[in-house]
Amino acid sequence: MEGNLFTAVLFATVVAGTPLILTALGLLVNERAGVLNLGAEGMMAVGAVAAFATAHHSGSPWLGVLAGLVAGAAMALVFGFLAITLQANQVASGLALAICGVGLAAFVGKPYESLALPAVPPIRLPFIADIPLLGEALYNQQALVYASWALFWAVLYFLYRSRAGLVLRAVGESPAAAHAIGHPVVLIRYLAVAFGGAMAGVGGAFLSVFYTPMWVEGMVAGRGWIALALVVFATWRPLRVMLGAYLFGGVMVSQLFVQGAGLQIDFPSQFLSSLPYLATIVVLVAISRNPATIRLNSPLSLGKPYRPDA
Amino acid sequence: MTTSSLPPTARLALHGIRKVYPGVVANDGIDLAVAPGEIHAVLGENGAGKSTLMKIIYGVTRPSAGEIRWEGQAVTVRDPAHARELGIGMVFQHFSLFETLTVAENVALALPGRPELRELSRRIEEVSARYGLPVDPRRTVHALSVGERQRVEIVRCLLQQPRLLIMDEPTSVLTPQAVEKLFETLRRLAAEGCSILYISHKLDEIRALCHSATVLRGGRVSGHCRPAEETPASMARMMIGKDLPHCEHGPAQGGGEIRLRLAGLSHASDDPYGVDLRDLHLEVRAGEIVGIAGVSGNGQQELLRAISGEERLAEKHPVQICGAEAGRLSAGARRRLGLCFVPEERLGRGAVPALPLVDNGLLTAARGQGLVRAGFLARGKARAFAERCIATFDVRGGGADAAAQSLSGGNLQKFIMGREILQAPKLLVAAQPTWGVDVGAAAFIRQAIIDLRNRGCAVLVISEELDELFEICDRIAVIAQGRLSPPRDIGEASMEEIGLWMSGLWPGAGTSAPNTAGEAAHA
């Protein structure tokens, strides 16, 4: 019985963490190029509704994910045009994108309100899914969960092992210097922003097609903001983003189990609901407080517009 | 053109280059030609158009009119990547390195293709050994000294096997010995056929190194010459259009009261890459100028902060200003004791970039000049003070309402120096008082410092420019690895000796020097 509970909590934790990982890793790449896009919440919402509508009409959840990806990237490119080409203030443009995206998703999603999709069966990995306790939780999951792990390794490899990642980090540190040695700063920033938007769109698609296969207005429920905060508190490092996302998911799920168990504890439920936020921030701040490592990992020109003079 | 007709095979030839920015003509009808293997100086004051011209050659910006010929072919340099493809390399004055990356990664970023880092590290070591530019490819750039960073920039350029190397004020951060070493490298490169464009305002260096020179003034070519056949005075005349002002430097009065005393100043730096100050002793008296020489990054910043009050000390007595123990006082309290202070960074420390000069004047002069009445700003007086700084120190660009960041570096420096000097301080501490300022203005600032001394002020100047220190100081000391040498009367000191001391090797310097004397070992 205890083993089942453990497996159930772990399973739910991984599921709850996945949309955060997808979105936050995209934002991490985005921000490592020096562009701060606060519109994650809006991009997730638009991704979610686009994915739901496509999956609903086509019957294919995978076309839905693709639609979410494209919709998120399209939203991000609108932001990119404002923030990179027109050099508008990134904070203001990002906030506008967040608000606009949430509203747009609600508007487009009206006809789909309270419709549901057939649940997508999980993919059970052979052999390792039979590992006691862990197997059922980790290796009998949705395909996008496995995709989020692959994304983690891909981002890690890209940032620290590939030349393109090196160029991206250089652009985020000093766009002027990167331009001076001949790298296309504007193009790289556009690509990074589009990638961030695409991943946020996939994060949204995971919510509306796999996690709870239905469309409800406001179903993103602040996850875009949490993903943004995760990236900062994880000091722009992929492993810490993963850790933070699962920590958040874990505490979220555990407190739901505790509340659901109806234990007679004299404890305000609001406090329990705020626990995931508190715990994530406290832990990430505690492990990321060495000023030297922060300096080495944070993109120095984050949020500063740059355009090479003609 | 004053030179004889150039060989048809000029590696780079510019004809009638013109660049117009809104409101300013930065370059106008510039002709320039560099032959293979030639070291060609581009000489000019701040704002003469040197940097704009180099940006045009390196493709950072496009000319409004004119023609660039590369190896005889007319080209349009689209961007820096294209310039490098052509074989043009540039070492920037403000380095274009990425602090959070390693040396090898920095180099890899500038090379075409996808160099493998291990193989690249080997090539870096090879080139650095060949040209006497020691760098460790595995180190992260932010931990390197300024001199080491410059070597990284040069090595990075050399790995691209350039046929034209542009050097923008390369010696401002080097010891005299390191400068000599750099010149050897450049001469060897030139002998191998590489052309070099050498931008500088240091006339002695140009005479020692360059084969020919193009002089710019006000965006136009004001002359060509062969530096070896000229005197510094004749080149300066071409550069500023009149004779170089000469500093009047009377003998020190001496015997004045002690205005600044460092009594065993030790301070551990907060910055993991900073320098710890170790047991500094120094006295500066009224009516004398004491200079502190040294290669940047040897504790100058930490010393300045400890004196100015930006960094408070644990104890009171190590810093004494005008007789008061000031170690625990704030910067404002120290200014009330009669200290005026010119920091090294003009924007951010010396001035608030976005504020107009009037407000920047208020920031340090409010109290002493009575620009504040009962907590309210006396706008009229503040404006009059700012205008007095502008008029006295010939600050050009926009007047009192111009934002500090809109001024060129040299003009802002003149304003900041003016702001502090016009407050008639008892003690003036100035870091790099003429950094990036052209010869004419630099001579003016130096004269103003000397005049201030003659009026009985005590002056401490921290500078990397030995020429400058030898010109204005009465006594000179050297800072190296956070230690301070004993001061020497300027009459008894020689450039060579002080240069050697800058490596930490003064008599009785102790035995700790070798491990940290990076510049010394390399120089």
Q: How many CB atoms lie within 10 A of CB B241?
A: 12
Interchain contact A164–B (C-beta under 8 A): no
Give the least confident one: A17-31, B265-279, B376-390, B453-467.
B265-279
Question: What's the rounded Cα separation, in Å, for the pair B82 and B60?
Answer: 10
More confident residue, B367 or B384: B384
Task: Flag whether A17 is in a domain.
Answer: yes
List, in order of start, the domains of chain B with CATH numbers: 12-240 (3.40.50.300), 258-338+425-522 (3.40.50.300), 348-424 (no CATH)
Say what the pLDDT of residue B272 is: 62
Q: Contact A217/A59 with Cβ under 8 angstroms? A: no
Task: Flag whether A305 is in a domain.
Answer: no
Q: How many CB atoms lie within 10 A of CB B496?
A: 10
Q: What is the number of structural domains in chain A?
A: 1
Give B511's pLDDT tier (boundaries 50, 70, 90): very low
Give B378's pLDDT tier (boundaries 50, 70, 90): confident
Query: pLDDT (tens digit, 9 = 90+) per residue, B415-457?
Result: 999 999 999 899 999 998 887 677 778 888 899 999 999 999 9
A177:B98 CB<8 A: yes
Question: What's the rounded Cα separation, in Å, for the pair B453 and B236?
Answer: 27
Interchain contact A180–B (C-beta under 8 A): yes
Nearest to A181 among B62, B80, B114 (CB): B80
Short-list A215, A180, A176, A155, CA closest to A31: A155
Asked if the model's pLDDT at residue B519 lies above 60, the reply is: no
A180:B82 CB<8 A: no
Question: What's the rounded Cα separation, in Å, for the pair A298 and A291?
Answer: 10
- The number of residues in chain B equals 523
Burial class (CB in 10 A: 0-12, 13-18, 19+), A295: middle
Short-list B447, B384, B382, CA closest to B417: B447
Interchain contact B138–A (C-beta under 8 A): no
Q: Rounded to a whole number, what is the distance in Å from the CA of A242 to chain B's nearest CA? A: 23
Q: How many CB atoms lie within 10 A of CB B206?
A: 24
Asked if the model's pLDDT at residue B41 lies above 90, the reply is: yes
- Percent of chain B at pLDDT above 70? 91
Say what the pLDDT of residue B18 is: 92
B475-480 vs B483-484, strand pairing mode: antiparallel
Q: Contact A157/A287 with Cβ under 8 angstroms? A: no
Handedness of CA B10, B16, B21, B24 (dihedral sign): positive
Which chain B positions have a beta carbon within 8 Å of A183's beta carbon?
Answer: 81, 109
Tokens of B367: 């109290």
More confident residue, A93 or B467: A93
Asked if the model's pLDDT at residue B34 lies above 90, the reply is: yes
Give the least confident one: B138-147, B217-226, B305-314.
B138-147
Query: pLDDT (tens digit, 9 = 90+) per residue, A118-173?
Result: 988 899 988 888 888 888 888 889 999 999 999 999 999 999 989 899 999 999 99
Nearest to B101 among A169, A180, A308 (CB): A169
Asked if the model's pLDDT at residue A307 lies above 90, the reply is: no
Residues whose CB is less than 8 angstroms from the CB of residue B73 and which lie 6 or more positions away in sequence, other chains included: none
Give B127's pLDDT tier (boundaries 50, 70, 90): confident
Nearest-by-CA chain B residue for A296: B100
Sequential DSSP letters for chain A? -HHHHHHHHHHHHHHHHHHHHHHHHHHHHHHHTT---TTHHHHHHHHHHHHHHHHHHHS-HHHHHHHHHHHHHHHHHHHHIIIIIS---HHHHHHHHHHHHHHHHHHHHGGGTT-B-PPPPPEEPTTGGGSTTHHHHHSEE-HHHHHHHHHHHHHHHHHHHSHHHHHHHHHHH-HHHHHHTT--HHHHHHHHHHHHHHHHHHHHHIIIIIIS-B--TTTTTTHHHHHHHHHHHTTT-HHHHHHHHHHHHHHHHHHHHHHHTT------HHHHHHHHHHHHHHHHHHHS--HHHHHHHS-TTTT-------
Sequential DSSP letters for A122-161? PEEPTTGGGSTTHHHHHSEE-HHHHHHHHHHHHHHHHHHH
Task: Flag whether A178 is in a domain.
Answer: yes
Say what the pLDDT of residue A309 is: 61
Query: Which residues partner with B14 through β-bridges?
Result: B32, B68
Highest mean pLDDT among B116-130, B333-347, B414-428 belongs to: B414-428
Residue A188: domain span: 2-297
Task: Flag whether A308 is in a domain.
Answer: no
Asked if the model's pLDDT at residue B513 lies above 70, the reply is: no
- The number of residues in chain A equals 310
Asked if the model's pLDDT at residue B201 lies above 80, the reply is: no
∠ Cα B349 A185 B173 (to 5°): 40
Q: What is the mean pLDDT of chain B?
A: 84
Interchain contact B93–A (C-beta under 8 A): no
| Rounded average pLDDT over A248-262 | 84
Task: Flag whether A307 is in a domain.
Answer: no
Q: Contact B173/B150 with Cβ under 8 angstroms? A: yes
- The position carrying tokens 């203001």 is A92
One-letter-per-residue 3-state SS of B21-52: ECCEEEEEEEEEEECCCCEEEEEECCCCCHHH
Which chain A positions have a beta carbon within 8 Å of B142's beta carbon?
Answer: 295-296
Which chain A positions have a beta carbon within 8 Å of B81's beta carbon?
Answer: 181-183
Query: pLDDT (tens digit, 9 = 90+) per residue, A200-244?
Result: 999 999 999 999 999 999 999 899 999 999 998 888 999 999 999
Nearest-by-CA chain A residue for B114: A163
Maximum Cα interatomic distance, chain B, rounded to a whole number of Å:
73
More confident residue, A284 or A191: A191
Query: pLDDT (tens digit, 9 = 90+) per residue, B56-94?
Result: 999 888 899 999 999 988 999 888 888 988 999 988 766
Give the least confident one: B168-182, B205-219, B444-458, B487-501.
B168-182
CA–CA distances in Å: residue B274 to residues A59, A79, B144, B268, B302: 62, 40, 11, 9, 8
Say what the pLDDT of residue B523 is: 32
Annotate B128-151 with b (16+ C-beta within 10 A) or e (fewer): beebebebebeebbbebbbbbbbb
CA–CA distances in Å: residue A217 to residues A105, A120, B283: 8, 21, 73
Asked if the model's pLDDT at residue B476 lies above 90, the reply is: yes
Tokens of B476: 């000179």
CA B312 to chain centre: 27
Say what the pLDDT of residue B297 is: 75
- The position carrying tokens 């590369």 is B70
Query: Which residues partner with B41 through β-bridges?
Result: B198, B213
Query: pLDDT (tens digit, 9 = 90+) per residue, B220-277?
Result: 898 889 988 888 888 888 887 777 666 667 776 667 889 999 999 999 887 666 788 9
A180:B92 CB<8 A: yes
Query: pLDDT (tens digit, 9 = 90+) per residue, B284-303?
Result: 999 999 999 988 778 888 89
Say what the pLDDT of residue A259 is: 79
Q: Rounded to a whole number, what is the distance in Å from the CA of B142 to chain A's nearest CA? A: 9
Hey, is B17 helix, strand or coil?
strand
Query: pLDDT (tens digit, 9 = 90+) per residue, B153-176?
Result: 888 888 888 999 999 877 766 667
Which chain B positions have a beta carbon within 8 Å of A169's beta carbon?
Answer: 98, 100-101
Taking the model in full, what pTM does it have?
0.73
Which chain B positions have a beta carbon within 8 Å of A177's beta carbon?
Answer: 95-98
Q: Rounded to a whole number, what is the distance in Å from the CA of A81 to chain B's nearest CA? A: 22
Question: What's the rounded Cα separation, in Å, for the pair B454 and B441?
Answer: 20
Task: Flag whether A302 is in a domain.
Answer: no
Sequential DSSP letters for B407-467? S-HHHHHHHHHHHHHTT--SEEEEESTTTT--HHHHHHHHHHHHHHHHTT-EEEEE-S-HH
Short-list B471, B478, B469, B513, CA closest to B497: B478
Say what the pLDDT of residue B1 is: 42
Question: What's the rounded Cα separation, in Å, for the pair A116 and A139?
Answer: 26
Strands in B241-355 per DSSP E: 258-267, 277-285, 289-293, 319-321, 324-325, 339-342
Short-list B275, B288, B300, B301, CA closest to B512: B275
Give B99's pLDDT tier (boundaries 50, 70, 90): confident
Task: Flag whether A306 is in a domain.
Answer: no
Task: Flag whether A304 is in a domain.
Answer: no
Task: Report the CATH number at residue A49.
Answer: 1.10.3470
